Amino acid sequence: MALMPVAEALARVLADTAPLPTEQVALDDALGRVLATDLAALRTQPPDAVSAMDGYAVRGADVAQTPVTLKVIGEVAAGHPFAGAVGAGEAARIFTGGVMPQGADTVVIQEHTAREGDAVTVQKPSAMGRNVRGAGIDFKQGDALLAKGRRLTDRDLMLAAAMNYPRLTVHRKPHVAVLGSGDELIMPGGTLKPGEIVYSNGFALSALVRAEGGVVTDLGIARDDLDDLGRRIRGARDAKADILLTSGGASVGDHDLMQKALKAEGLDLSFWRVALRPGRPMMHGRFARDGLGAMQVLGVPGNPVSSYVCAFLFLAPLIRKLSGRSDVEQPVDSAILGHDLAENDERADYLRATLAMGPDGPIATPVPVQDSSLMAPLARAGCLLIREPFAPAAKAGDRCAILKFAF
């Protein structure tokens, strides 16, 4: 099978993928969830004109020239409107958030006044409308403020609450089953025997799933054995996972059994081998599930950097599309190249690079060694620097395309 271009591989992963069904959740549980409907305000905010400061509600015409002494006829606190009206030569004591009394159109802050009994002297003039928040200055009933496909932030929840929504309709979270494989792998904290290494891929992959809004089922580490692999693959199907994410065993060695095990369980293979560095032996396919749609499979390589880069490029957009997000693909940003690069070959390169702010914008500097097993440089990197297939040599200072890591 020939190497598939990255863009075509991603298009196949996302093809025929629809957002998951919807559900209603309490506002308190909606952080990070994706709206399934546009959200229009159920009320006007603020519903009435209110004071923006502590002071006195007056008629603007009465305080255009000062000093002037006005009669205090009442008091207005937040939640306690004043039933009367402010007439010529009158004022009402008002506090922040208090509803403007009838007849008043301006608030004089208390620092510009002197109070004596029922009289207040305004010492500095105020323009008409000063320190008043008009009705609907934030939003009006019926205004569409949060769009379908938006992943909700903490600020969005504040807004939705103010719009008077106690519950929101969102898409179900994608369920991702994560499976590692390899006789050489042991969990962190164990004692390593000769030839063994610590399993690390699954922790990054699971964290990426959660960061993108998915739910993880950990299928553990399968041995290089078809029976063990088959049993764990069936575990993903039994768990009704939307995605099975496998790590390792995807290449062509005698002990790389993942693809064979997946096919034995009925995988419809979409592609295997992508024109990508790191991550060439990545694969994708689907399992049919009666009444539940297809469980997609992404098989990423076992090398830690390759596994993460492939998940970042393909798994994250897939989770986003299943979640119903409007921003599915990773946004490409521009930066300044930090050092010279040689011309590229037939594979797209995703170089791990550090980011620093320069006088003309961010500077992306590829780490010196790009080996796909090196995790320390990946942890230091702030982005992936994209080199298209057959890209010509580039000089420090040239513009380059990058994909930023979230943090």
Q: How confident is the model at residue 205 (pLDDT cuts 50, 70, 90)?
A: very high
Contact between 363 and 336 under an 8 Å Cβ cutoff? The reply is: yes
Q: What is the mean pLDDT of residues 182-196?
A: 93
What pLDDT is attached to residue 253? 58
What pLDDT is attached to residue 32? 97
pLDDT tens sequence across 305-335: 999 999 999 999 999 999 999 999 999 999 9
Q: How confident is the model at residue 374 (pLDDT cuts 50, 70, 90)?
A: very high
pLDDT tens sequence across 342-372: 999 999 999 999 999 999 999 999 999 999 9
Strand segments, DSSP code E, in 239-391 are 243-247, 268-272, 276-277, 283-289, 293-300, 333-337, 348-358, 361-366, 383-387
What pLDDT is attached to residue 290? 60
Phi then psi dihedrals of residue 197, to 5 deg: -135, 160
pLDDT tens sequence across 230-240: 999 999 999 99
What pLDDT is attached to residue 294? 85
Contact between 348 and 6 under an 8 Å Cβ cutoff? The reply is: yes
What pLDDT is attached to residue 395? 97
Q: How many helices (H) and strands (E) does the chain have?
A: 8, 26
Q: What is the mean pLDDT of the chain?
A: 95
pLDDT tens sequence across 124-170: 999 999 999 999 999 999 999 999 999 999 999 999 999 999 999 99
What pLDDT is attached to residue 349? 97
Taking the mean position of all CA atoms in its chain, how far away is CA 48? 35
The pTM assigned to this predicted structure is: 0.91
What pLDDT is attached to residue 254? 56
Domains in the chain: ranges and CATH: 6-21+173-323 (3.40.980.10), 22-45+138-171 (3.90.105.10), 50-133 (2.170.190.11), 333-404 (2.40.340.10)
Q: What is the mean pLDDT of residues 26-42?
A: 98
Tokens in use for 394? 């580039």
